[in-house]
């Protein structure tokens, strides 16, 4: 619980979680488009959130020991969960638009 209180709930970590969510969504969508939709965004998001968390560890100049790696894993789970929830809520809002023609014009989808 000490790791959770000291590291996850600190102001610096909340900022990094927000930045991580943004980077995870951005990089996942870029990789998804580059691979021409062959790689699933769920799996790409897991890899990207883990690499973003490792990048945060590298930026903080912390040693690569077990406690810091466990913090990175916890942070990547939180980042991925938040990014997945945000993407799902945006997709839900887009799909529940009442006016189908307005949705087609806005998002360019004819399905």
pLDDT digits (tens, 9 = 90+) for 26-37: 888 888 888 877
Break the chain into its structural domains and give their ranges. 2-95
pLDDT: is 101 or 48 the higher one?
Answer: 48
CA 101 to chain centre: 30
pLDDT on residue 35: 83
Q: Give the whole-angstrom CA distance, residue 30 versus residue 53.
A: 18
Q: Give the whole-angstrom CA distance, residue 83 versus residue 27.
A: 11
Q: Give the whole-angstrom CA distance, residue 48 versus residue 51.
A: 5
Mean pLDDT of the chain: 73
Q: Which residues does 51 contact at the CB level (< 8 Å), separation at least 6?
A: none
Share of the chain above pLDDT 90, in %: 0
pTM, 2 dp? 0.59
Contact 48, 28 (CB under 8 A): yes
């Amino acid at each position: 619980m000490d790791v959770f209180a000291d590291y996850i709930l600190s102001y610096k970590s909340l900022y990094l979680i927000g930045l991580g969510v943004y980077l995870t969504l951005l990089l996942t969508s870029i990789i998804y488009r580059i691979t021409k939709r062959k790689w699933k965004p769920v799996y790409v998001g897991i890899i990207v959130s883990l690499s973003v968390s490792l990048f945060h560890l590298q930026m903080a100049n912390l040693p690569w020991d077990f406690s810091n790696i466990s913090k990175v894993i916890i942070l990547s789970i939180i980042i991925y969960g938040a990014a997945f929830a945000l993407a799902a809520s945006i997709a839900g809002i887009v799909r529940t638009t009442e006016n189908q023609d307005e949705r087609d014009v806005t998002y360019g989808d004819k399905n």
